[in-house]
Structure formats: C-alpha cells, structure tokens
Amino acid sequence: MKDRVIVLGSVNTDLVVKVRRLPQPGETVIGGTFYQNQGGKGANQAVAAARSGEKPVTLIAAVGNDVFGRESLAALQKDKIDLTHVNIKDGISSGVALIMVDECGENAIAVASGANAALSPADVTAVPDSVFEQASVLLTCFEIPVETVQVGLRRARQFGVTTILNPAPVPEHVPAVLLSDVDIITPNEHEIARLLDLPKIEDETDARTAAQRLLDRGVGNVVLTLGARGCFFAGAGDARYFPGFPTKAVDTTGAGDAFNGALATAISEGRDWVDSLRWASAAAAISVTRAGAQPSMPFRHEIEDFLRLQG
Ligand code: RIB
C-alpha cells in the first residue's frame, strides 16, 4: 500500500538570537534572547508532514556523530519519524544554522552544512526499493547536494511516487534533467527569480510568466509561495492566485517548511489543489505565530481548528 511520505533533506541545529533589527554588513547589534532549536529544512518538513498527517514519514538524511546530531534524532523520534535511513557520518559535524530573528519575525540565516553536504547519491541508492514502493510522495530541498536530490527524484519517479521539490536554497546550477523529474515545485519569489535568472517578481503577470517558464522546462506544477499573501498556482491547464491567511508573525523561520510538509500530507491524501493549498497555507500561517522552526510546526487538529475558524 502506498501510504508513506519520504522526505529527503537536511538536519540542522538552529542557534537563534532575537534582535530588534537585523544588522547591516559589518555592524554589531546587541540581541535579546538566545535559544537553541531543532531545524534544517528536511527535518522541519518531515516534522510538518508527520504532525499534519496520519501516514508514516521516512526521513533520508545525514547527521554527524556528535551531540547536535543525537539531539536532532531524539527530537525527530518524538514525532515518530522513521529514521532508519538517516546516515551517521563519522568525522563530520552535524549541520548548524545561525539565525537572527527581528521584531517583525523576519530572519537571516547562515548554514554550516556539515554532514548534510556528505549525504551522497549512494546513500539514496542504498535505501531499499520497498521504501519507495510504499511511498506516495517524496519531498526534497536543496540543503543537500544537488546530485543527491537528483537521484532521489529519479528513484521516486521510477516507483510512481509524486515528487515535490522545495528549491531552497537555490544552488549555483540546477541540471535541466532534474526539473523534468519534478511533479510540484514550490519556490518563493526570490527562489523562482534565481532559478530562472530573472529580475524581481513584481506582480501577478511576472509570477505567471515565471511559472510558465518552469512548466516549459518540464516541471509538472508550480506553486509559487508569496508569504502571507498566499501562493500562485500554475499547472494542469490552470493558473491562479490562492489567497493566504494573514496572521501576526512572531518568527517566520520554517514557515516554508510548514507549507511544504503540510502540502506533502495533503497530496498524499489525494486532496485536490484548492484543498491542498488551503491546508498548506494554514499550516504556514500557524507556524509564523510561534518561535522557532521545528517547534512551530502545527499538528493536524490545530490546522483543522484554524480552517474551521476561517469558515
Ligand atoms: O527553513 C528554515 C530552516 O533553514 C532552519 O531551521 C535552518 O536550519 C535552515 O536550514
């Protein structure tokens, strides 16, 4: 039975400082609270998928043989994520993200990839066929090597698994063949501009043009995320804007991961686009009202309650 979600991605420990405003280059600002959270786009997305869904979630990832790695795995176990295919890489440190979050919830992030950069195509090839046979959706991102993402997408496609690529952060080069294995791509405005080497996305006409360019490159569907403004969908002969749910943001770190994880859940449940994008937008809207990446991922009942209140 195809009832599993696979997340292929990164695991980080987030070291966060709250600041009144983000510093300029060369500037020091005195910050407020410091906190340490579990993070990494892959791990966050796995948690978002597990909490928003009812299906098993398998994470394919890598951590170092160190305290941060062990703490990350312990946290993921609490969300009942299958960690059988998380590789422990000796002699490399686990991924770490240094994050500053300002008063408006905006952030700046620098990542030391560590073991994430060592997650190899061979690590994905080593995952037994049975895992892909049981899966309905594979969700991946670019916080791991591009070649590893490419092998993951290819393998998923070979087993009829729907593939979702969150192209964050956008690498220097994305092979054309990789995009043709993507059923759903979920860039934000900056990422789509970088992917296509375009200037800023200013309005809906720009969004439509950029999305069409990705469709022309073989991507199945484009979900361009626009933060609190919602998202622009293009695919299946359709192109339209879906409004979001404006909320008071405390910390936007991980909002994209909440969206992607919840989208993977909705797609794995066979929901239509309207329902899926509403579900994913609600998850993202809830996540920004809370501090931290992984701690902010909402549970299924919270998304249901939120949507019920929206009417
Ligand atoms: O998307 C948010 C994540 O990006 C953080 O948790 C941080 O680890 C970086 O990977």
pLDDT tens figures, 24-51: 989 999 878 899 999 999 999 999 999 9
Pick from 25-39, 43-57, 139-153, 273-287: least confident: 25-39
Q: Which of 46, 48, 104 lies closest to 286 in space, CA to CA?
A: 48
Dump pLDDT digits (tens) for 17-28. Answer: 999 999 998 999
C-alpha of residue 238 to centroid of ligand 1, in Å: 31
Averaged pLDDT for residues 269-285: 96
Averaged pLDDT for residues 295-301: 97
Dump pLDDT digits (tens) for 221-242. Answer: 999 999 888 999 999 789 999 9
* Per-residue model confidence (pLDDT) at position 31: 79
* Alpha-carbon torsion angle 286, 191, 109, 48, nearest 10: 30
Take atom 2 of ligand 1 and give the residue whose Cα is closest: 254
Q: Is the CB of 40 under 6 A from ligand 1?
A: yes
Q: Is the CB of 297 under 6 A from ligand 1?
A: no
Atom of ligand 1 nearest to the CA of 168: 1
Averaged pLDDT for residues 199-216: 91
Given the structure tokens 């749910």, which residue do they identify? 245
Checking if the pLDDT of 311 tops 80, the result is no
Checking if the pLDDT of 286 tops 90, the result is yes
Instruction: Provide the 8-state DSSP code for 5.
Output: E
| Region of residue 105 (left: phi > 0; alpha: psi -120 to 50; beta: else) | left
* Per-residue model confidence (pLDDT) at position 3: 87
Query: Which residue numbers are catalytic?
Result: 257
Take atom 7 of ligand 1 and give the residue whose Cα is closest: 40
Take atom 1 of ligand 1 and give the residue whose Cα is closest: 254
* Alpha-carbon torsion angle 301, 260, 199, 172, nearest 10: 150
Q: Is the CB of 244 under 6 A from ligand 1?
A: no
- Which tokens go with 304? 């249901």
* Per-residue model confidence (pLDDT) at position 235: 94
Q: Is the CB of 251 under 6 A from ligand 1?
A: no
CA–CA dist 87, 127 (Å, integer): 11
- Name the strands in the sheet holding 238-242, side by side, starting at the edge strand that comes first in the sequence: 86-89, 57-64, 4-8, 135-141, 162-166, 184-185, 221-225, 231-235, 238-242
Q: Is the CB of 206 under 6 A from ligand 1?
A: no
Contacts of 211 (CB under 8 A, 6+ apart): 192, 222, 224, 232, 234, 239
Peptide bond into 199 cis (omega under 30): no
* Per-residue model confidence (pLDDT) at position 135: 98
C-alpha of residue 43 to centroid of ligand 1, in Å: 9
CA–CA dist 311, 308 (Å, integer): 5
C-alpha of residue 253 to centroid of ligand 1, in Å: 7
C-alpha of residue 205 to centroid of ligand 1, in Å: 30
Ligand 1 test: best mutation among 37, 44, 186, most atoms within 8 Å of CB?
44
Contact criterion met (CB below 8 Å) for 127 and 121: no
Ligand 1 test: best mutation among 41, 94, 225, 259, most atoms within 8 Å of CB?
41
CA–CA dist 167, 253 (Å, integer): 16
* Per-residue model confidence (pLDDT) at position 2: 87
Take atom 8 of ligand 1 and give the residue whose Cα is closest: 40
Ligand 1 test: best mutation among 14, 139, 287, most atoms within 8 Å of CB?
14
Given the structure tokens 């950029």, which residue do they identify? 210
C-alpha of residue 254 to centroid of ligand 1, in Å: 6
- Average model confidence (pLDDT) across the chain: 95
* Per-residue model confidence (pLDDT) at position 237: 85
Dump pLDDT digits (tens) for 125-143. Answer: 999 999 999 999 999 999 9
* Per-residue model confidence (pLDDT) at position 229: 87
Checking if the pLDDT of 204 tops 90, the result is no
Phi and psi at 282, nearest 5°, equal -65, -45
Dump pLDDT digits (tens) for 71-99. Answer: 999 999 999 999 999 999 999 999 999 99
Name the amino acid, one letter, at 193: A
**Global model pTM greater than 0.75:** yes
Checking if the pLDDT of 202 tops 90, the result is no
How many Cα atoms sit within 13 Å of 162 on the Cβ side?
19
The residues facing 8 across adjacent strands are: 60, 140
Checking if the pLDDT of 308 tops 80, the result is yes
pLDDT-derived band at 104 (thresholds 50, 70, 90) equals confident
C-alpha of residue 13 to centroid of ligand 1, in Å: 9
